[in-house]
Structure 1
């Protein structure tokens, strides 16, 4: 006679087998991640704490690289990247939210599909092509610069605000893609209930919609900050060293463009960026989970 315990054990065996099969299926991905990200991270960590004697060639462990990465021009570049990322992400978050709301509430399905498709393309359009497009359009000899007389008004594309405008080109579409699912998750019954209780549109957004959307909005803001913080090719092709950024400083240190033998300092600055990225993800992931609980 089969007991209840025997039945439970028999039912648990297939579950264990499925879990084992799941781990085997994901093993190639884990191996790929370990080789692609783990090995470079360990090499970067080792080089950041290593110094090489130019006379003897001997290596030793030291924290001097980190000390150098947080002083002088390197610290200025790190703070410049944080400032540029925060400003461009904040502007893009506001404009992206307004555009996404207009798309979600539109009655024209073709408009929604067109905007979302264009956002998917433009969110990944960056680097040298984007820099060339802005230089040809709003540079010193750009088409719009000459026709609108922007140079006489003090416009300078190769500045902090010029680079911010360039970053908005791919950050706003990224915000649209990020916040549109959250806007779709707002229940129409919530608005109707608020209207039935005499609430205005402003009160609905202040007391209902924005509190529900807050985790998604903050998560999107953090995602935009990370995207702007890690951008390199666009700034390198457009402004060079006129705007201090940590990514450009790392490139100069590795290539010996300014000082020779600063490769390990560049690795230390890379770890500084990793630390900032980890802080960004530590904020983003809990917000994303909280937003999912509200909108499910």
Structure 2
């Protein structure tokens, strides 16, 4: 009788608790995003009137928080519980779900590069559609103002895009004081002024374009975004590559842990041969 002692493969606690710790943070961030989204909807009265979700003509930024938060919550929960309980179903779900997200991101990146002109047209349509709904939602209004201030732009391709909004168009039927104007976020900033002049864009589109440049940014947000992307291409590419590597790393760790758990279960059941067990023990890293 052999004097060798065969021991079943142990699950690496390094991998197990690394996945657990990482996903706890991910899970908490998901809860935070969901909480912020639901709080924003509560402040706008959406939770008390669900039908108002479809009333907004433009994009509601709250959806971004809810979708991102929901995905992070589901992924974090599956990875956290799957690693802690050594649940192969949740670990497989985590790795497959993360793999699908990675594939969608990769596909979107390739399509965006191949169909640049189509993406530009869709971006123009998206911005103009939200210009129409500028006054309909405070979150959308803040998002547009932030975009125009950050990129020092006005409209999709110029200030005249604000003619699409019922409060800023130049038609005779428009009795608004903002007629033929633009939002204050289009205005050039005076470093000497501490207080924002919210009326700086009034009547500005009644002036010739050269005169407009003294008061507002006349370049559109689409070309300004393209310029920003070109100027910061290295940083943007680095961020996307970092996210992709993190996702691949997470998938590999989850698959590794799943394999170790399955090997441990099979050995406990007496299905794995002792020779395979000894090899598995040598390759497994134990904290």
**Who wins on radius of gyration, i.e. which is larger?**
2
Between structures 1 and 2, the one with greater helix share: 1
| Same fold per superposition (TM over 0.5) | no
State TM-score, norm by structure 2.
Answer: 0.29
State TM-score, norm by structure 1.
Answer: 0.29
